Structure 1
Amino acid sequence: MAHSSQEPLSSEFFIAAGRSEQQYWRDLWRYRELFYFLAWRDILVRYKQTAIGIVWALLRPFLTMVVFTIVFGGLAKLPSNGVPYPILVFSAMLPWQFFANSLSECSNSLITNANLISKVYFPRLVIPTSAVIVSFVDFLISGMILVGLMAWYGVAPSWRILTLPFFIAIAFAASMGTGLWLAALNVKYRDFRYVVPFLVQFGLYISPVGFSSNIVPETWRWLYSLNPMVGVIDGFRWAILGNDTPLYLPSFISSIVLVLVLLFGGIRYFRAYERSFADVI
């Protein structure tokens, strides 16, 4: 017997609808309210009716800065390029913490929203993007420490502070690109979540957070620049510190190229496996 025209459509229809590439990017705009909802929900969970959320966003980078200042500035006596060592460290901690938090949040974002993904269609790109936005809120809160440190040490920014939004955009692109890779991989390989903390911890020590990139020998500088966060961190320091240290252009250019490769490659990889998320998750 033929099905009635009034019969409810199956959930598969809603999950598969609008999947064409032409409609997908238009759907991102159509579902912008869901993006706001997910980001705002996670922000409220972290900060509403709790002091530890805001305190932890301030305390974690501050304590890391203190340890790095003691180890690299006090014990190892590494150069600080004419600025107080705490400011040298914290100007790098800001983009690094934003990047590291984004990786952690993005890698688990699809898993934690599994019920939503399996029930209704929407562009899945909304979920990891909202996770990056939540990490960006932590970035803004932690920025208050840097403002306080600069006021304490009497370090005034120069005109180069106007270029900071450009470097923030690069950090956002690096976080988004890498986060998309990890989010998709974590759905395909559930044990991949154990790899992410190691990558974050390892990346902290191979990035110029506790020291200046200038201590890296020139012959190894090109290899060191293959870490895309090197150029991002150097750019932040160049914009914030306002000293006479020039921006090492080969490192910065290679970082931009690598960040763009990560971003567009991450989008393509995420889109390639997006159709299977509702079945696998």
Structure 2
Amino acid sequence: MQVSTVIEPKKSAFKINFRELYEYRELLWTLTYRDFRVKYAQTILGFSWAVLNPFLQIFILSFVFGTVAKAGTGNVEAPHLIYTTAGMLGYTYFSNLMTQAGSSIIMAQQMVKKIYFPRLVIPLSKAITGLIDLLATMVILGLMMVYYQYTPGGNIIYLPFFILIAVLSGLAAGIWMSALTVRFRDFQQVTPLIVRLGMYATPIAYPASLVPEKYLTLYYMNPMAGVVEGVRWCIVGGDPPSTLMYLSFGLIAVLFVFGIFFFNRVERMMADIL
């Protein structure tokens, strides 16, 4: 009986093999296109759901916090709908990617078990598809600004930076959840709960200034708190975000690095677990 031994260079669990991902770029685009088609296939409204879903979430949050709870907008002179939409812009990508990436590898388990490819391609395809939802929220925000004749201030030049941080946070969450769900199937049930609770634990429809000062440090340990405050400051102005937002940014960086580490560790046994 002939035994073959394959010798491979040691791979750091903290590194992303960008060269290998580039070699599988066609698979990445194919999965992205498939996700986009499947998401809106055989629906009456089709792509309109990409705008309708976030709009309904924004309207409900604005009604609950602006009309019922009367949380207001702090010292920001902007309609509450625009205020909420600006907050939702920072949270949309994170929540959608966290939800979709969570079950992405399990849904593709037949492909994972049959052929080799860098498994990171799967959550990355969800990350690209998630940009459509982010764009849809931007469209809603733009239409509201036209309707209310609201013009953002000079802070808007910093928006690309905070959007980049929002995308990074979504990637971190997506990578973590895609690996955790493979290892522990309970996260299929936990992820939607985290997303729903996060909408209320993040200052989307209310200012962070309403949070008691003694709880602010704990509050900004929510990675999305700093992102949402930063994105909204860019669009509607007001007081600059608290310096505690850098705590949120630091946690995002830590989650991303260790998410890659955990994903690489789980990737070695994915086919066996599935």
Find the structure with the greater CA-based Rg: 1
Give the SS at the match of 1:177.
Answer: helix
Q: Please name the residue that 1:120 is paired with.
A: 115
Q: Please name the residue that 1:44 is paired with.
A: 37
Q: Does 1:82 find its partner at 2:77? A: yes
**Contact persistence 2:96–2:130 (CA under 8 A):** yes
Q: Counterparts of 1:101-180 in structure 2 under 5 Å?
A: 101-180=96-175
Distance (Å, rounded) in 2 between the aligned partners of 1:199 and 1:273: 22
Following superposition, the deviation at residue 202 of structure 1 comes to: 1.2
Let me know the Cα RMSD of the aligned residues: 2.4
Using structure 2 for the length normalisation, give the TM-score. 0.91
Following superposition, the deviation at residue 2 of structure 1 comes to: 6.5
CA deviations on 1:203-231 (whole Å, 9 max, x unpaired) are 11111112111211222211111101000
Following superposition, the deviation at residue 105 of structure 1 comes to: 0.6
Name stretches of at least 5 consecutive residues in structure 1 with no aligned partner: 4-8
Q: Please name the residue that 1:6 is paired with.
A: none
Q: Please name the residue that 1:271 is paired with.
A: 264
Residues 197 and 49 of structure 1, relative CA distance in 2, 3 Å threshold? closer
Name stretches of at least 5 consecutive residues in structure 2 with no aligned partner: none
Distance (Å, rounded) in 2 between the aligned partners of 1:52 and 1:111: 28
Distance (Å, rounded) in 2 between the aligned partners of 1:125 and 1:55: 29
How many residue pairs match? The answer is 270
Give the SS at the match of 2:251.
Answer: helix
Residues 18 and 71 of structure 1, relative CA distance in 2, 3 Å threshold? same
What is the one-letter code of the residue matched to 2:94? F
**Contact persistence 1:158–1:240 (CA under 8 A):** yes
Distance (Å, rounded) in 2 between the aligned partners of 1:2 and 1:261: 45
Following superposition, the deviation at residue 79 of structure 1 comes to: 2.3
Distance (Å, rounded) in 2 between the aligned partners of 1:121 and 1:20: 16
Q: Could you tell me the percent identity over the aligned residues? A: 37
Residues 236 and 170 of structure 1, relative CA distance in 2, 3 Å threshold? same
**Contact persistence 1:17–1:121 (CA under 8 A):** no
Q: Does 1:249 find its partner at 2:243? A: yes
Q: Does 1:207 find its partner at 2:202? A: yes
- Is the deviation greater in 48-57 or in 75-84? 48-57
Which of residues 207, 210, 219 in structure 1 aligns to 2:214? 219
